[in-house]
Amino acid sequence: MKNKAMLMSLLGALLALTSCRDLTLPPVFYTLEKEQPLEDDRAFPDIATVHRIVKVGGAGGRYFAAASKLYTRTDGPSENWTVVSPPVPGAMCNTLEVFGAFIYAGFFLSSSGDGIGLWSADPTILPIVWYQEPDPDVKGVEIVMIRTVGAGALLFVSTRSSNANALFYNNGLNFDPINWGATPPPTDIPITDVIIDTEASPSHWVIVGPYLYRNALAVLPGTFDRYSGTPSAIRTFGGLFETGGTVYVSSDNGQLFSTPDGGTSWAKTPSAILDDTDDPIPFASFTLPASDALAVYVGTRGNGYYRIPGGDVTGSSGTPVRSPAYNISALYNGAINCLLYDAGQSRLFLGTAGSGLWRGDHVSGSEWLWKQE
C-alpha cells in the first residue's frame, strides 16, 4: 500500500508538471521537454547585457559583441569567446560597427563613465590594435551610435558631449556634422538610428527620439528635414530597417510602419500590438533572416521578438507572432537589444538585456534551435 501511494503521488506530480503553462518558468523546463540543453557554453557571460553584435567577413569570419566588455570569436562550430583588450585600461564598449575592412567602436571609462571617443582596428590582426580617430568631433566624447549605411559607403556616428547630442558622417577624410535644416532636433535627445532608403528616389532617415528626419539625397551633404508624415505623434521610435526599397520603422507604442516609396505612402499595424497585460509592445530593432521566407523580425524591450510574415506590417500576410517559444522565458520575456542574421551560417543572434547572447541555428521555416552562448 505504501509503494502504491508513493506511485500515485509521483504520477500526480508528473501530471501537474506536464499541465503547467506558467510563462515565467526557467529554461530547465524547456530542456526537459525538448530533451536538449539550452546552454552551449562558449565562455560568454550568461547575465551580460549585449548592446551590439556584428560580423566581419564571410565564411570563416569573426563575430564581435559589445557587452560593456568587447568579446570576439570566429564563426567556427566550437570556437569560444575571448575578451578584446580595450585601447585604455578599464575602458568599456557598448557601441560597435563594421565599416569597410575595419571595426569601429566607442569606448568609455568604467571609473567615471566619461566617453573617450571613436576607435578603429583591423580585425585580421590579433591581438587587436586600436587606432584613435583623430577628428575632434569624435575624439574624447561619448559615442552613442555607429552605423554603416548605403552598402558600406558612409559611416554615421552620433555623439554626446556636455549633455548635447550631435550626428556626424564620414566624408572619406574626416567627419562632417549633419545639416538639420530649419527645424533641428533638441540637443538633449539621443540620436539612435540611421539608414539609407534604396528605392527609386534614395533618401536617408534618422531617428531622434520621437522625431524622424529625412534627407532626400543619396549623396551627402544635404539637409535633414523633420518628417511630418504618417509615423508621427510617437512617444519614441525604436528602430529603422531597409530591405528591397522598403523602409521599416518601429515604435514604443506597439505600432510598426513601412513605406515602399520613400515616405509617399505608408502601411502600418491596424492598431497597437499589446502584451499580456494589454500594454503597447515597445518595439526596437529589426533584421531579415533570409532563410525564413522574407519574414522580417523585430525585437522588443521585454517581449522577445516578433515575426512579421512577408514583411507585411498590416497583418494581411499573417499576424505578427511573438517569438520564440514561450518556454524559453529568457527570450520570450526578454528585452532584445540587437539582432544579427549570419546568412553564411544560417544563424540568428539575439543580444539581450541581462540574459546574455543567444544563437538560433536555423531548422526550417520560422523554427530555430536556440542555445545560450
Please report the pLDDT score of residue 173 as a whole number.
80
d(CA 82, CA 67): 12
The HSE-up count of residue 271 (CA atoms within 13 Å, CB side) is: 4
The dihedral through the CA atoms of 19, 24, 25, 31 has a sign that is: positive
> Structural domain boundaries of the chain?
179-323
pTM given for the model: 0.88
Please report the pLDDT score of residue 10 as a whole number.
39
Q: pLDDT digits over 146-163, tens only?
A: 999 876 678 999 999 998
Please report the pLDDT score of residue 33 as a whole number.
41
d(CA 250, CA 282): 8
d(CA 231, CA 251): 9
Which fold would CATH assign to domain 179-323? Answer: Methylamine Dehydrogenase; Chain H (2.130.10)
**Dihedral of the alpha carbons of 125, 148, 218, 258, in degrees to the nearest 10:** 150
Radius of gyration from C-alpha coordinates of the chain: 22
Residues of the chain under the 50 pLDDT cut? 1-35
* Residue 179: strand pairing partners: 223
